Amino acid sequence: MEFIEVNTNELILLSVSGVLFIIQLIYYLALYNRIHAHNRAVGQNKVNYSEELPPLSVVICAKNESENLRSFLPAVLEQDYPNFEVIVINDGSTDESEELLSALEKDYPHLYHSFTPENSRYISHKKLALTLGIKASKYDWLVFTEANCYPVSKDWLRHMARNFTTDTDIV
């Protein structure tokens, strides 16, 4: 009978890999157990939703998205929600996005738009656009979406806001 020879380095590497695998397994089990527990609580109506509707700021970054803005932005602007603003950051678009946003601002008083400076080099333009949107927001609660996303219903913001509780940091 032949034995497997293992030197010290291989034994250390195998032990470290085993420990890291166990840590990763515990992490995944803990994470997915929380998701499963939340889904089970939703099914049993044991989830506490907030009844208040805090004012919201919806931040949208757009770069050459005039067609998507024309199609999807009115659905965001016409949400059934008492107090919200929509901030669109034009990230250096070369299409007619700027003209479209200016025209929509006349019809929707809660729409605001801005732009990222063209001379911002060595910076992620998406991060800069999000930062400008955050700084331009009037309200503490922020909702982020993309220009090519269509809300599921007119109650999309209500469904998002019901999860804003004192125990929640991110929804």
pLDDT of residue 126: 86
Q: Answer whether residue 120 shows pLDDT above 70.
A: no
Taking the C-alpha atoms of 115, 111, 69 and 74 in order, what is their torsion angle to the nearest 10 degrees? 180
CA 138 to chain centre: 18
Q: Answer whether residue 127 shows pLDDT above 70.
A: yes
Q: What is the pTM of this model?
A: 0.71
**Regarding predicted confidence, which is higher, 44 or 91?**
91
pLDDT of residue 56: 92
Tens-place pLDDT, residues 30-84: 777 777 776 777 677 766 667 788 899 999 998 888 899 999 999 999 999 999 9
Mean model confidence pLDDT for the chain = 86
pLDDT of residue 7: 86
Instruction: Give 151: exposed, middle or buried? Use CB within 10 Å, 0-12, 13-18, 19+.
Output: middle
Tens-place pLDDT, residues 2-33: 677 778 888 899 999 999 999 999 988 877 77
- Confidence band (pLDDT; 50, 70, 90) for 1? low
| Mean pLDDT confidence for 116-143 | 85
* Strand order across the beta sheet in which 84-90 lies: 111-115, 84-90, 56-62, 141-146
pLDDT of residue 121: 65
- Confidence band (pLDDT; 50, 70, 90) for 161? confident
